[in-house]
Every structure is written in C-alpha cells, then in structure tokens.
Amino acid sequence: MKTLPLFGSLLFLLSTASLFGQNANLPDDLLSEDFHAERREALRAKMPNNSVAVIFSNPVRNRANDVNYVYHQDPNFYYLTGHREPHSVLLLFKEKQRIEGKQTDELIVVRQHNALKELYDGARLGKKGAQTDLGFSVAYEGPSFADLPIDFSKFDQVLFYDFQNDVRDTKEKADLYDLIATFKQKVGYPENSSPTLQLEPQQNNLDTKTLDSLMQELRGIKTAEELDLLRKAVKISALGQKEVMKAIRPGMSELEVQGMHEFIYKKYKAEYEGYPSIVGAGHNGCVLHYIENYKPEIEDGELILMDLGAEYHGYTADVTRTIPVNGKFTKEQKIIYDLVYQAQEAGMKVCRDGATFKEIYNATAEVVNQGLLELGIFKSLEKEDMINPATGRNRYYPHGCCHHIGLDVHDKGHYDTLRANMVITIEPGIYIPEGSPCDPKWWDIPVRIEDDFLVTEDGYELLSDAAPRKSEEVEKVMKQPSFFNEVDLPTLGGEE
C-alpha cells in the first residue's frame, strides 16, 4: 500500500469504504444497525397490543450567547436508533400500520437538510441517510411530521416520556420544540400550568409510565455488542487510574490530575467523560459529587479521591480510586482504606445472578459499621450514633453501593434482583469530615473504592482490574515512573 500514489490510495479507501458500508470519518466499532433494529424489535415485543411508542431526541442546550453545550443524545433514543443528531423523533408501532401507502411498524423523523446550517455544523443525515445509514425503510424530515396521517386516537395506549417543558423554540422549522408541539396537538395532550402530565387513568390513551419500565427491562441486561463497548470504556478508565497513580505529586492541581485522566481517555479514543470528573484532595474528597476540582495545589499527606469514567461510543465506565498524594498512606489513612477494601470484597462475594442489590449493600455496610465501631469512630451501632440527623443517612457511609452502568452512568435497569449480563458498580465509601464526633486524627479522611462488574451466573467478572485496588499495590504502582512527569512547559509569567 505504501507505494500506491495518493490518488490510488484514495480510490482504494473509497471503494473499500463503500464495499463494507463504512464511513472513514467514523469509528469502526460503533453499535451496528442490526443492534438498534433488534432492540426496537425487543421493545415492540414488550409493548402492549394496539400501542405506539413515541421517543424524542434530546434537546440542544445553550451554554451562553451563541454557544451550545456539546450535544448528548437521549440514551433511549440512541439505543433504539443509533441516531446522534438532535431534533428527531421515533415512532414504534406494536402492529404494522399503513402509512402513505407503506406497511410499516416504525418510522423516524429527522432534521431537514439545510445548506447553511450544514456549512457550519456538518452534514445531516436527512431522509435518505436515515434510510441508508440507520436502516429505517420509512423516514421523514421534520416538516413532514405535521402532515403525517396518523390517527393517535385509535391506539389503546400512546407510550411516551412526559415533557418537562424545558425545550427552546429555535428559528428552524420543525425543530424539537415544533415536533413536540405537533405531537401534543395530534394526541390531544392536555396543556395546563403543570409541567408534568397528571391524568386520571382512563381519561384518555396517553401513558407516560409504561415506556420507562419497558426501557429499564431492556437496558438493564447488556447484549454482547454493548458489553464490548463497556469493557473498553472500563478498561480505559482503569488504565487512566493506573497512569495517574504513577504521575501524581504534591503541588499538582486537581485540574491537572483531572486532565491526566481525560488525556488517557482521548488517547484511547473515548469521546467524552460519562459524567463530570470528580477529583477531590483532602477535605474535598468528602464532598460526594465534588466537580469544581479547583484546588490549585494538592498537599503532601493528603488523600485524593478520583471518581471518573470514560465514555466510549456512548457507554460509560465509573471507577473510583483514592490514593495518598505523596505515595504512602499514613497509618490512619491505610486503616480506613483497608476497611473500605474489605467492605468491597464482602460485597463482591455476594454478587451473582439471583442475589439482590440490597444484599450487596448490606454486606458492605456490615463491614464498614463493624469496623468503625472497633476503631471507636462509632461509639455504638445505635441510631443516634450512626445516623447523621441533618441528612438522615449513615454518618460516614451515606450513599448506596451499586448501580447499573451503560449509556447512563446511573443506568436504567431493575434494582431488585441481579441477573447475568447486568453491569454494575460496587462502591463502598467512608468519609469523615472535619468536626465529626470522633478522634480528630480521623478527620478529613475520605475513601471510596469503586469498580465495575459484569454479573454472571455464578459470580462476576471484575472489569476494572487494570486499576490497582489493594493499598499495597497502589503504593507499589505509585513508585513507578510516569511519562507525565517528563512534560516540561514554560511558565505563564514570562520568567525563565
């Protein structure tokens, strides 16, 4: 190939691209058209007779002035279509319908072509692209939606997620705002002052509850294609944790630590973070969702809590490590760290098909509470000692321990019984903020250890094992050299 002239290479690329239906501008491991079609079929199978499901794309959100936030597709819409553009809507029918002379049980409405917009924002799929790239035999562009002859009153149930009335009307015709308005008009949606629909059952055929429970059933159990992407997202995130362990030094800022993780993600071609990265040194680690990451210099002797997840083709990991900034746990830090580790191990022992989420939580909480009692941090396991009256939660372990991950970091899925091919986190934590009613030597020690697990018939597979978990292993890896420490940039002040 090296010896081919440029033109020949281009021809070769163009011909192979069209041969395999691939676009050289896109990753080659995106979810396939077949995956999305099969997921629509699975949803249709669960839908009640004589029903239609209507699923809208996410709104575009304005950041300030004429700049929008990076667009993020609605996970349900993406799961069912693979479409990454805004201002779209999917209609799934339980039974085949006759629409403009065609028999179909699904149709998609996508953005209309617009040369000027496409000059700035890139090509839109349009009707043709929705047919060829997404595999919908019946597709329309936005303005056609109003004219579609669909009589919604003939369905027993119209399934949709209720609107939060927070979508902006843009200047474009048939944008999401208009699509929703058209839909409301078509189905006779009762507009009132309340932002959410409150209807007596049987008042009409609008159903804003059922769709979510069906999507939970589907999305909670991962298919092989989803597992491939989740494995990559988790591996990338775990490798990020390991690289940062080697690089971290007192004096770095929280932002720099965040940047090192996110550099690794991009290096492995993960597009985004699945949620705002949490990097908290010292007391900041006690703030469960600390995302400012503003501390300019992390200090010798502090712990730093790093809760981050790479998002790879829409699927996000969720991995947390808590490490000593200077490479060595103090005696108290190690005691608390090892206790959280034991709690996580106890949770892992319970994890298998057929166990419940509650059993995992209870296993972790038992270890944490007993351990804190033995250390004298809890004076007793009576409510008045264990529960923080201001929050109503366990004083030092105030959050849950497991959630599904997938297209959402707190993914849709059932939260009662574990089933094979669920992917969940197990993430016990202990946080002892300054001023807590215990010996001050424990103050501002926050530890969370979070890993990602594929639930199997007889146990689990630990997906994030590339990130050291044992305190001794963390210290060992922190002694290794890091390429990040070779980075030598000029200062901003202009001095040498």
Closest to Mn ion by CB, 214 or 423: 423
Q: Mention every residue, 6+ apart, whose C-beta is less than 8 A from residue 468.
A: 241, 242, 245, 321, 474, 476, 477
Q: Can you tell me the distance from the alpha carbon of 83 to that of 87, in angstroms, rounded to the nearest whole number? A: 11
Angstrom distances, CA of residue 406 to CA of 31, 77, 198, 457: 13, 14, 30, 20
Closest to Mn ion by CB, 106 or 318: 318
Number of residue whose CB is nearest Mn ion = 318
Closest to Mn ion by CB, 425 or 464: 425
Give me the half-sphere count of Cα atoms (radius 13 Å) on the Cβ side of residue 128. 3
Closest to Mn ion by CB, 302 or 318: 318
Measured from the CB of residue 450, what is the shortest distance to Mn ion in angstroms?
Answer: 5
Measured from the CB of residue 425, what is the shortest distance to Mn ion in angstroms?
Answer: 5
Measured from the CB of residue 319, what is the shortest distance to Mn ion in angstroms?
Answer: 9
Closest to Mn ion by CB, 81 or 464: 464
Closest to Mn ion by CB, 425 or 436: 425
- Shortest CA distance to 429 belongs to which of 252, 255, 306, 301? 306
* 82 three-state secondary structure: coil
Measured from the CB of residue 403, what is the shortest distance to Mn ion in angstroms?
Answer: 6
Measured from the CB of residue 281, what is the shortest distance to Mn ion in angstroms?
Answer: 19
Contact criterion met (CB below 8 Å) for 156 and 48: yes
* Sheet containing 157-160, strands listed edge to edge, beginning at the edge strand earlier in sequence: 139-141, 102-110, 89-99, 51-56, 157-160, 206-207
Written as six digits, the tokens of 368 are 């944490």
Contact criterion met (CB below 8 Å) for 360 and 392: no
Measured from the CB of residue 352, what is the shortest distance to Mn ion in angstroms?
Answer: 20
Per-residue contact string for residues 408-427; x = within reach of Mn ion by CB under 5 A: -----------------x--
Residues 425-454 that bind Mn ion (CB under 5 A): 425
Residue count at the site for Mn ion (CB under 5 A)? 2
CA-based end-to-end distance of the chain: 47
One-letter amino acid of 68: N
Closest to Mn ion by CB, 322 or 425: 425
Per-residue contact string for residues 300-329; x = within reach of Mn ion by CB under 5 A: ------------------x-----------
> Residue 106's beta-bridge partner residues?
92
| 3-state SS track over 249-282 | CCCCCHHHHHHHHHHHHHHCCCCEECCCCEEEEH
Closest to Mn ion by CB, 311 or 318: 318
Measured from the CB of residue 320, what is the shortest distance to Mn ion in angstroms?
Answer: 7
Closest to Mn ion by CB, 186 or 410: 410
Q: Can you tell me the distance from the alpha carbon of 376 to that of 75, in angstroms, rounded to the nearest whole number? A: 45
Closest to Mn ion by CB, 107 or 238: 238
Closest to Mn ion by CB, 254 or 318: 318
- Shortest CA distance to 31 belongs to which of 90, 71, 94, 77? 77
Measured from the CB of residue 274, what is the shortest distance to Mn ion in angstroms?
Answer: 10
Measured from the CB of residue 455, what is the shortest distance to Mn ion in angstroms?
Answer: 16
Measured from the CB of residue 350, what is the shortest distance to Mn ion in angstroms?
Answer: 18
Angstrom distances, CA of residue 20 to CA of 77, 260, 430: 25, 36, 51
One-letter amino acid of 406: G
- Shortest CA distance to 90 belongs to which of 99, 80, 98? 80
Burial of 296 from C-beta contacts in 10 A (0-12 / 13-18 / 19+):
exposed
Measured from the CB of residue 244, what is the shortest distance to Mn ion in angstroms?
Answer: 18
- What residue ranges bind Mn ion (CB under 5 A)? 318, 425
